[in-house]
Structure 1
């Protein structure tokens, strides 16, 4: 990231005690009494709309009823049978636009059952025991390579291992977890929860993890196909989209994902440099996470600039409100046209936009903001390689994750669809079930022959 010697960017903007407070848990966990009270608000609907809204199809009324009757361990199992990363999803899933938005209580009272916090209560309770609720089936003798240890890859690996297959995960980064480890705002996942959840998940057995192994550099798809009975690609997204405006290469202009990753891995936040005037370009979750954390680190003025209207922002209204409540200014219908400064950024010039005949265009009217740090959060793209066919720049897959290459499945952000952790978990799980069906059917046919 930017050198701390860039003018306007400095360490130690806030005292350690203030930083610890700022980066504490966004939502305090429920205690047993609070969980019981929250669970009692559920109507336990038949054909509950919250279940339909959940990408992983968790039986939400059942797990809440189990909490209400004092069975948090059973509740956790109900959740984890469908979503093995239910603990992290309880922290980062946009429940306000999924299950909670569909809650009948939301319609009746404009206050849904706190499904996300109840899910966290249940999953935390089982993780505190240190035991794993599932056992591994007898070995099938089949082996599967999983490329990427993010939510999709981990979900796929766990389900395959539970079904008795031997799984080898190849992860490019030094740590497993993918987005959960490197890309989530620090105040949403505290106390190394992502790493602890991976360690807990691996207790199923039958999974070998190799870090620092990159597809296309350290291994090829052809090699994996030769060495394993099946391959699952959970590669995530690689390259950050370029900011095409004058001065985008000045000092102080960085990728938001790198800023977030550095913050997540920092052992001492007082040593993380941040500017006084920070501008984030983009309108999604990454933009909000970067902007809020810049403010929490001590930036005096933080602005999000988004080229379209507020309703078009990728970040939910809840996340937008969270940003503004922390003092972040959101400027909509503005886009960068130039970054000014002598070597390092000093100002950013924004042009107002409007939609004409269905196309977004600049109006010619501009404004300048002081900026000693600019973060790009304008999306990432899939780093394509020779192999599966692509669909709109991502891997084309069937409903069960099959690619155009025999024996190769894919899921998560590298495939077309919503870039959500909970969606990636569902896709990894569903691909694992299809891989299992393919491998066991193949074994049955071979035995018959």
Structure 2
């Protein structure tokens, strides 16, 4: 067993990381699907979307060959509608609410139709919004992820001049750096950022990190308002012996490296254990398999009933050949010569429900041992607690406290997205950005 790169040939990498949700190949295919829609009154699909996209309306516009109108309907509610069509867990949102499910029929492929309209808009560079004349107001946004970009576009449409400070060299946040490459490519993310900023009035300053290159005091002094949208990103540690042996890495860094380098340069083990069962864990496991790992095992301390990922995501891992071990919690990492060789896990049973409402895992006293040469930790992400505390922003263990959806305790400072909620879906961050923009416009007495 060994950790190495370049397991596969170039064509194998291309195949393994090709689009997992291919678009409609023809206009006729899109029209046929659009005409399946029942165009429900008081549609449940719209209610289940955090950004409240008018799903029946945009599908009807596709059915009547009004693609510009369809894209405008989508982008009016969700400026990242193109990206969300690729990464949203639609099976628990719009498509999961489709009335066809209650008729025991296949739900409308809402995401695929959304992708059809929005990608046409991006490919043709349709500018569907006209920016109002500048108000003279200036807003700083920290973070060019979904919440920050959504807030920026909403403000810019109203004539507010926006400057985004982004610590990475590219925008997009989680979309660019934290999602499986077979769902959305970095190239698409760059195109989406460029499309969003093409409205004008949005300047992104890259490689500018809060607390290093800029300070809250500077932003308060130079801008009329500030929106914090820097997300989360610190990997939660396991706090077990052997955790720092060579070969034990966190999923955030693993996916980041994969998103920013050629696939052939990414080292992966032959026998990989992934700890966790959230979306990040699934992405890490499936990509390890697609990079050439022979054996990938996902371990979760609870049962399938309590898992945070969707069944759809779990099925992707299963189809890729990943193994699943339920009721297993890491106890110790063993190694030889400083390199990981085994993972010892406690076998668990479920006890009484905890604060989250899920039954708590309790050790049975028995253990299992897996032979591994690589362990990927995907036990969750933690907020930037030190950063938040150093700027005297009220918070709950690093998650910024807000009232009225985006107001912080500091005058003129607003916040939203993962740095507030601790980490949800991209579509939730987009809605948070819209909420933040509304609060800022109220604060600046715009409209």
> Are positions 1:45 and 2:40 aligned together?
yes
SS at match of 1:275: coil
Aligned to 1:270: 264
Q: What's the CA shift for 1:107?
A: 1.1
8 A contact 2:399–2:422 mirrored in 1: no
> Are positions 1:291 and 2:291 aligned together?
no
2:210 to 208, 211, 215: 215
**C-alpha separation in 1, matches of 2:298 and 2:222:** 47
> Are positions 1:411 and 2:416 aligned together?
yes
Matches within 5 A, 1:364-375: 364-375=365-376
In structure 2, the gaps of 5 or more residues are 354-359
SS at match of 2:339: coil
8 A contact 1:24–1:190 mirrored in 2: no
> Are positions 1:10 and 2:4 aligned together?
yes
**C-alpha separation in 2, matches of 1:169 and 1:122:** 28
Which TM-score applies when normalising by structure 2? 0.95
> Are positions 1:281 and 2:275 aligned together?
yes
- Residue deviations 1:268-304, cap 9 Å, x none? 3122211100111111000000000000011000011
In structure 1, the gaps of 5 or more residues are 1-6, 445-449
**C-alpha separation in 1, matches of 2:217 and 2:226:** 10
CA 1:320–1:146 in structure 2 vs 1: closer, same or farther (change >3 Å)? Answer: same
Which TM-score applies when normalising by structure 1? 0.94
Q: What's the CA shift for 1:191?
A: 6.4
**C-alpha separation in 1, matches of 2:186 and 2:332:** 40
**C-alpha separation in 2, matches of 1:259 and 1:418:** 18
Higher mean Cα deviation, 364-373 or 81-90?
364-373
**C-alpha separation in 1, matches of 2:166 and 2:210:** 9
Aligned to 2:436: 431
Aligned to 2:312: 318
**C-alpha separation in 1, matches of 2:64 and 2:396:** 47
Matches within 5 A, 1:4-153: 8-30=2-24, 31-153=26-148
Q: What's the CA shift for 1:408?
A: 1.0
Matches within 5 A, 1:169-184: 169-184=164-179
Q: What's the CA shift for 1:106?
A: 1.2
Q: CA RMSD in A?
A: 1.3
Q: What's the CA shift for 1:356?
A: 2.6
Total equivalences in the alignment:
435
**C-alpha separation in 2, matches of 1:52 and 1:388:** 33
Higher mean Cα deviation, 74-83 or 123-132?
123-132
Aligned to 1:382: 383
**C-alpha separation in 2, matches of 1:249 and 1:191:** 30
SS at match of 2:345: strand
8 A contact 1:151–1:421 mirrored in 2: yes
Q: What's the CA shift for 1:77?
A: 0.5
Q: What's the CA shift for 1:403?
A: 1.3
8 A contact 2:4–2:268 mirrored in 1: yes
**C-alpha separation in 2, matches of 1:103 and 1:262:** 37
8 A contact 1:335–1:353 mirrored in 2: yes
8 A contact 2:231–2:423 mirrored in 1: no
- Residue deviations 1:36-83, cap 9 Å, x none? 111111110010001110000000000000011111111010000010
**C-alpha separation in 2, matches of 1:191 and 1:180:** 8
8 A contact 2:332–2:344 mirrored in 1: yes
Matches within 5 A, 1:147-226: 147-190=142-185, 192-226=187-221
Higher mean Cα deviation, 369-378 or 396-405?
396-405
Aligned to 1:354: 349
**Greater than 6 Å deviation, 4+ residue runs:** none
Q: What's the CA shift for 1:355?
A: 2.2
